[in-house]
Chain A
Amino acid sequence: MITLLLIFFPLIAALLLLFTKGEQVKQIALGATIIEFAIAIFAVTQYQHGNTTQFEASYPWISSLGINFHVGMDGISLLMVLLTTFLVPIIILTSFNKDYRNPSRFYSLVLAMQFALVGVFVSLDGFLFYIFWELALIPIYFICLLWGGEGRAKITFKFFVYTLTGSLFMLGALIYLYLHTEGTHSFDIAAIYKAGQGLNAIHQGYVFLAIFIAFAIKMPIFPFHTWQPDTYTVAPAQGTMLLAGIMLKMGTYGVIRWLLPVAPLGVAHWSNVAITLSVIGIVYASCIAIVQKDFKRLIAYSSIAHVGLISAGILACNVQGVQGGMLQMISHGVNVVGLFFIVDILQKRYGTRDIDSLGGIRNLNPQFAVLFLFVLLGSVALPLTNGFVGEFLLLNGVFQFNPWIAAFAGLSVILGAVYMLRSYQSIMLGETNALTGSFAPLSQSEKTVLVILCIAIIGFGVYPKPLLDIAEPSVVKLVDGVRLAMGK
């Protein structure tokens, strides 16, 4: 019941918003998402720690094809829902100083996006998962197309076609698995797992590749990343936050839920390749980030590096890796939203994102400098910030898989520090120049967002246990199941 509420509340709110006019649209959208967050928190309090799927609901949908509206949450899903419901109100709050054309449509699309995202994270039926997966693409496409920056038509279209292509591969694999389920076929997750694990190693390899491409494009992993920097740069600030903060996690979550247990032998066979690609992505994206002049683009590349580490850890398929991946998904979501918000703040005040032309802002507004520093340190994974715990677990997981790969993956920490600290130095420190002559003080909403994010960064850096506890039993169960099927 609670799961249904979580899925459909944003949809209803989105439809209502569409017919709302005037200034209060923002407030209503914020209110709705805060209520949604409250529902998620309530779900956490009701959640019985353990490795079972809870809050399940299942209704026949297209029963002649064995498709059910089957949703539910275990620890992994719950954590992702928590991330989504936490970030969306923050993202809406970041837009409070902005006036978009047709605000009711804009916020309605954001809420529709939330509907699809929550749906992706709680689906326990392959067909339903695919529908939500695709559904998430439509609102974000229109958010970027209607409110994006220069050259958006081409770039967002590339993004759309790229992800759609990947999804179609996944659809092919899902149909293939569906046809191998027992009896009158079914899309239920348990049946799909069973069908996948029943295939021989070669066929599991094909299934792995088909599904992996979909997720690899969504995350994105090298060499499927070419849509990402342009799309992140051209999207409106809130669109970028949605893309990087939450939508990217659809891919990593997908790997955990719909790839590892579906094709364990495929994972065993291809994980070397997939992890190597992820690690190449880390080093490659970090190197490009170092030479970026556009701060937004720099963060886009840093996002490729971070997600590369997450995917490497998850694909290593051990408890540390997956657990680290879960935690890092949360941390990355929080940090990247913070960073893109800082870009937005700078751009609004100076009309530029060029790192070199900014400078000396710390002297003008020390408060902003401190908040920026916290977000940045979280992003470079300094101990006692949220990024550290996740990254440590991830590297640990990759190390167990292969120490050499882990050594290269570890470069992400060093290179990350290089480009982040360099940009902080260039933007905030040094002499105030003609462009940065004055800095309009942070507005109330800006301050609120940054403070909440900083609390989250420090809070979960010092005490990550509640988050780890939610996911751990489910992660252990899933990883054990996969390793058993691998024969390890």
Chain B
Amino acid sequence: MKALILLSSLGVISLLAELFSFKKLLYPLVLLGLIATFVFNICDWNATNNVFYKMLQFDNYAIAFSSVIIIIAFLWFLMAEGFFKEETNLTDHYALVLFALVGAVILTSYTNMAMLFLGIEILSIPMYILVGSSKNDLSSNEASFKYLIMGAFATGFLLFGIALIYGATGSFDLTEIKTAISSAGVTPQIFYVGMLLMLVGLSFKVSAVPFHFWAPDVYEGAPTVITAFMATIVKLAAFAAFLRLFDVTFYRVSGSWGLVVWMLAALTMLVGNITAVFQTRVKRMLAYSSVAHAGYMLLALLAANHYSNSAILFYGTAYSIGSIATFTIVSIVAGARGDDGIHSFNGLGKSNPMLAVVMTIALLSLAGIPPTAGFFAKYYIFTSSFIAGNVGLVLIAIIASLIGVYYYFRLIIAMYFKEGNHEAIPLDLNHKLLLIVTAIAILVLGICPDFIIRLL
């Protein structure tokens, strides 16, 4: 709860910065604000609060996910300092990002369909604008437009689903819906239709195949920092919402959505990874890899056992940290060398050893090689899936990860093996700090993952 208030007031403050002209102070202020939000957020650990007429519930689940989101947001701000410097109208960018975070926090804590809808909209609308924030870049405009249209469609599906479920159960409240479908009476058919429509809507948001078509174009067109935001925070929040809805509320009817999610997961992992192999631009490759990672998280969602929550929390954390690191490096390299083709990375191992080492660690983590966080994340998800009896899906996941190794290693080979005649790229202090922190975090999470998986 405190997180929500603090983030909203930070957003308002950054709007006021324009009026009272303390723009220069805003950046440190936001960073401090995020730290404060994080601290206040974890203070509520183990104290479940219901607020807004029980429409939001800050239980440990919500606090764990929102804390991770806030940490990632902090790292993201370290990455994105340049983004705020370049643009003239910077305070609304701060405000938009912070309001998007508010939406993300709502998505982790909603217990009412109305709040789910609000959360998704509060998260999405700032993103539509931010994706188009390079106003003079045609592809950024295109991406923004595409995202808006597709997002609107997805929201339509979601709303339609909510309406049907309301019709079937007579409530927006998750607990009441759960009771309604668990009671002895026959659940009306329209409930199942509504549930599938909601599934489609949420699959859009997490970019699961075949609802992923917007993702590569939007990820590629958006400014890289915004891409990083979408690939990490938006995805994590959407999964928190997805998980709460399906594994908790709709758990009893998992028989009727299990097969659909099974196919979504299999397709997402395979299509995401296979398409990524053929990309020559790194940003687009990472976009497809981000699609593929959603597939692994769907595996844990499908398992729907007591490992699922912590598995998605851990996977989301590991994946987000890895993604923040890779996107940072991509934006640095693409900025210095003109474009983000794989050849831009040639010889990076020589010209910028630090960038190359951190990139290697992050890529190894995304590929799931021990001792990185990504390995344990995959291991944990595979185990939860195994327990749920989805052995076939685990096999598909293993094959998909092997394909993943192929394209991640193409970058590693380019950095260390291909000769490049580039000069060393100078690094900001912020970026240096960010890269060191992420590299250490990836290794620490990989070596002692216990403290996170014990949370939930």
Contact = CB atoms under 8 A, between A and B. Distances in A.
Interface of A: 61-65, 130-131, 134-135, 137-138, 142, 145-146, 152-153, 157, 160-161, 164-165, 168, 171-172, 175-176, 178-179
Given A161-B402, A179-B386, A134 B379 contact: no
Chain B interface size range: 20 to 34
A145 B413 CA distance: 8
Given A61-B448, A61-B450, A62-B453, A138 B369 contact: yes
B96 to A, nearest CB: 39
B403 to A, nearest CB: 10
A176 B394 CA distance: 12
Given A134-B371, A146-B417, A161-B406, 15 more contacts: A62-B448, A62-B450, A64-B450, A64-B454, A131-B370, A145-B416, A146-B416, A153-B413, A153-B417, A164-B369, A164-B402, A165-B402, A172-B394, A175-B382, A176-B386
Contacts of B152: none
Contacts of B409: 157, 160
Contacts of A130: 370
B262 interface: no
B383 interface: yes
Contact of B413 (A135, A157, A165, A172): A157
Contacts of A179: 383, 386-387
Interface string B356-383: 0000000010000111000100010011
Contact of B449 (A62, A146, A165, A178): A62
Interface string B285-308: 000000000000000000000000
Smallest CB-CB A-B distances: 8 pairs: A134-B370, A62-B450, A153-B417, A131-B370, A153-B413, A168-B398, A64-B454, A175-B386
Interface in B382-417: 382-383, 386-387, 394-395, 398, 401-402, 405-406, 409, 413, 416-417
Interface of A is mostly: helix
Contacts of B364: 138
A176 B454 CA distance: 22
A172 B394 CA distance: 9
B405 A160 contact: yes
B370 A164 contact: no
A171 B379 CA distance: 9
Contacts of A172: 382, 394-395, 398
Contacts of A145: 413, 416-417
A145 B417 CA distance: 7
Contact of A65 (B370, B402, B413, B453): B453
A142 B405 CA distance: 15
Interface string B438-456: 0000000000111001100
A137 to B, nearest CB: 8
A315 to B, nearest CB: 26
Contacts of B402: 161, 164-165, 168
Nearest to A152: B417
A137 B405 CA distance: 14
Nearest to A133: B370
Contact of B401 (A61, A63, A153, A168): A168
A157 B409 CA distance: 8
B370 to A, nearest CB: 4
B212 to A, nearest CB: 25
Contacts of B417: 145-146, 152-153
Contacts of B416: 142, 145-146
Contacts of A62: 448-450, 453
Contacts of A131: 370-371
Contacts of A157: 409, 413
22 contacts: A61-B450, A63-B450, A65-B383, A134-B369, A135-B371, A138-B369, A145-B413, A157-B409, A161-B402, A161-B405, A161-B406, A164-B369, A164-B405, A168-B398, A171-B379, A172-B382, A172-B395, A175-B382, A175-B383, A179-B383, A179-B386, A179-B387
Contacts of A135: 370-371
A379 to B, nearest CB: 33
B5 to A, nearest CB: 33
Nearest to B349: A146
Interface string B409-444: 100010011000000000000000000000000000
A160 B387 CA distance: 29
Nearest to B375: A134
Query: Among the interface residues A168, A171, A176, which one has the most CB atoms of the partner chain B within 10 A?
Result: A168
Contacts of A63: 450
Contacts of B371: 131, 134-135
A62 B406 CA distance: 30
A205 B364 CA distance: 32
A264 to B, nearest CB: 23
A146 B386 CA distance: 38
B358 to A, nearest CB: 15
Contacts of A178: 383
Interface string B214-233: 00000000000000000000
Nearest to B310: A64
A152 B370 CA distance: 23
A171 B386 CA distance: 12
A50 B54 CA distance: 66
A131 B383 CA distance: 16
A60 to B, nearest CB: 8
Contacts of B375: 134
Contacts of A65: 383, 450, 453
Nearest to A178: B383
A165 B406 CA distance: 12
Interface string B16-41: 00000000000000000000000000
A405 B135 CA distance: 75
Contacts of A168: 398, 401-402
A315 B383 CA distance: 30
Contacts of B383: 65, 175, 178-179
A344 to B, nearest CB: 22
A138 B370 CA distance: 9
Contacts of B398: 168, 172
A173 B401 CA distance: 17
A134 B454 CA distance: 25
Contacts of A64: 450, 453-454
